[in-house]
Structure 1
Amino acid sequence: MNEITTARSTPLRIGSPAPDFRARSTMGDFQLSALRGHWVIFFSHPADFTPVCSTEFAALSRRQADFDALNCRLVGLSVDSLYAHIAWVRALNDLFDVQVGFPIIEDPSMAVGRAYGMIDEDATNSMTMRSTFFIDPQGVVRATTAYPHNVGRSVEEMLRLLHALQRVDGGSSLTPEGWVPGQPTLLPAAESADAASDWFCRLEFQP
């Protein structure tokens, strides 16, 4: 049974503490707060053995080393049981020739899904559980995405967003549209339009 150890009385938003929880996973007993000090990408899917999510898990497994290099831990979640997760991991290995090296959490009661606002209190199934939470090393939600069940997430965009969050972390730089590592960032807007003609959108030529 999943245990939510951080109560939340307001909707989960960017800047909210990520609700802590304990649960069983494909890699043993899991507690989210044990990953403090690392970035965490916590992503959910409505069920195991679904076609879209299978392609996502295969792609994430192939790129796990890239996330590891950024001090980021991947954590998956589904309402299915631990035994279904284990069977699915084996099937993914057979079909895609990948080893899923990150934990997949079981959430049969949908307690974690509700704590994270993936589904509302009245939901009778998990079809809306297609959310991703980018959590910083202090356990704070820094970005979220949500996809419908029939559209796959982009692993490249997950990596790009993680790079961008780390680039601006603790500083005043901003990343422009489509920013990738190696490109210049933006400076905050100047306090006065008299500063320069580009006062509201100034490049910082120090990638």
Structure 2
Amino acid sequence: MEEAYSLPIIGEAAPDFQAVTTHGPMKLSELRGKWVVLFSHPADFTPVCTTEFMALARANDELEGLNVQLVGLSIDSVHSHLAWVRSIEEKMGVKIPFPVIADLDMKVARRFGMIHPGQSSTATIRTVFFIDPEGTMRAMIYYPLNNGRYIPEIVRLVKALQVTDQFKVSTPANWQPGDKVVVSPPKTAEEMERRGEEGYECKDWYLCFKQI
């Protein structure tokens, strides 16, 4: 049971895996060059998960524009996934464009710490993993079984991570694209003295913002 508690580490390589999906066989490392948002859901044909899948499907075009591949997962068979995806399209009018991993043996779920026995030993909790184009784990969000995710936050965090990488800055609380970003604090007394001359909006020597 200890394997159920193993967690990926932010800043380290995401655990590679091979899996069967609704789009055919998939190997995580074959997605290098793209950002990957890997998310799990407790079970097919359940109400909260259905609302999440529809919301993620609607966000898929924007995520694809950010070079993101969405990948879903639950401990269900590929036949169950296919039937559920078809049901969502027929009954809800929403086509699911991303692959969904069938993880009946729980191998992927255990490698990513998606099984929390305090919630369920037979279903994955709602996890979201953000993996960059080099295969490095950049962020993780965990939700309980009963509460659906806020999909705009998933999109926002991808944008924040990409801004951080491109401009070597940080993003403050509640940051949205177009907002000012945070400049790294000075590391020496000399840098601290120069800070006021660098054109930043500074609240104090350690807290400065700039527009990008």
Same fold judged by TM-score > 0.5?
yes
Alignment deviations for residues 144-176 of structure 1 (CA, whole Å, 9 cap, x no partner): 000001111011000000000000015431101
More deviation, 31-40/119-128: 119-128
3-state DSSP of counterpart to 2:178 = coil
Identity of aligned residues (%): 44
Alignment partner of 1:85 out of 78, 81, 84 = 81
The residue that corresponds to 2:12 in the other structure is: 16
More deviation, 71-80/47-56: 47-56
The residue that corresponds to 2:204 in the other structure is: 198
3-state DSSP of counterpart to 1:63 = helix
The answer to which structure has the higher helix fraction is: 2
- Provide the C-alpha distance between the structure 2 equivalents of 1:86 and 1:134, rounded to a whole number of angstroms: 25
- After TM superposition, give the deviation of residue 129 of structure 1 in Å: 2.5
Partner amino acid, structure 1, of 2:66: L
The residue that corresponds to 1:62 in the other structure is: 58
More deviation, 79-88/182-191: 182-191
CA RMSD of aligned residues (A): 2.0
- After TM superposition, give the deviation of residue 178 of structure 1 in Å: 1.1
- Provide the C-alpha distance between the structure 1 equivalents of 2:48 and 2:117, rounded to a whole number of angstroms: 25
User: Which structure would you say has the larger Rg?
Assistant: 2
- Provide the C-alpha distance between the structure 2 equivalents of 1:109 and 1:133, rounded to a whole number of angstroms: 20
Residue pairs, 1:127-146, within 5 angstroms: 127-146=123-142
* 2:148 aligned with 1:152: yes
Does structure 2 conserve the Cα–Cα contact (< 8 Å) formed by 1:40 and 1:135? yes
Residue pairs, 1:89-108, within 5 angstroms: 89-108=85-104
The number of residues matched between the two structures is 197
TM-score by length of structure 1 reads 0.88
3-state DSSP of counterpart to 2:26 = strand
